[in-house]
Copies of this chain bind each other. A is one copy, B any other.
Amino acid sequence: MSRSVRIAIDAMGGDNGASVTIQGAAVALERRPDLSFVITGNERIVGPLLKEHPKLAAVSTVRHSEIAVAMDAKPSQALRAGRYHSSMWMALEAVKKGDAEIAVSAGNTGALMAMARFCLKPMGEIERPAIAGIWPTMRGESIVLDVGATIGADARHLVDLAIMGAAMARVVYDIERPTVGLLNVGVEEIKGNEAVKEAGKILRDSNLPSLDYVGFIEGNDIGKGTVDVVVTEGFTGNIALKAAEGTAKQFAEYLRRAMSRTLSARIGYLFARGAFEALREKMDPRRSNGGVFLGLEGVVIKSHGGTDAVGFASAIELAYDMARFDLLANIRSMVMRKVEPPAVPARA
Chain A positions within 8 Å of B, measured between CB atoms, are: 74, 110, 136-138, 148, 151-152, 183, 185-186, 188, 190-193, 218-224, 232, 234-236, 238-255, 258-259, 261-262, 264-265, 267-276, 278-279, 282-283
Contacts and interface: CB of A to CB of B under 8 A. Distances in A.
A158 to B, nearest CB: 13
A247 B244 CA distance: 6
Contact of A235 (B74, B193, B262): B193
The count of identical subunits is 2
A219 B242 contact: yes
25 contacts: A74-B190, A138-B253, A185-B238, A219-B245, A220-B246, A220-B249, A221-B246, A222-B246, A223-B243, A223-B247, A223-B250, A224-B246, A240-B240, A244-B244, A244-B247, A247-B247, A251-B251, A258-B275, A258-B279, A261-B275, A264-B275, A267-B268, A268-B268, A268-B272, A268-B273
A157 B251 CA distance: 33
Nearest to A223: B246
Contacts of A234: 185
Given A244-B246, A262-B275, A264-B271, A185 B239 contact: yes
A-B pairs, top 3 by smallest CB distance, nearest first, are A268-B272, A219-B242, A268-B271
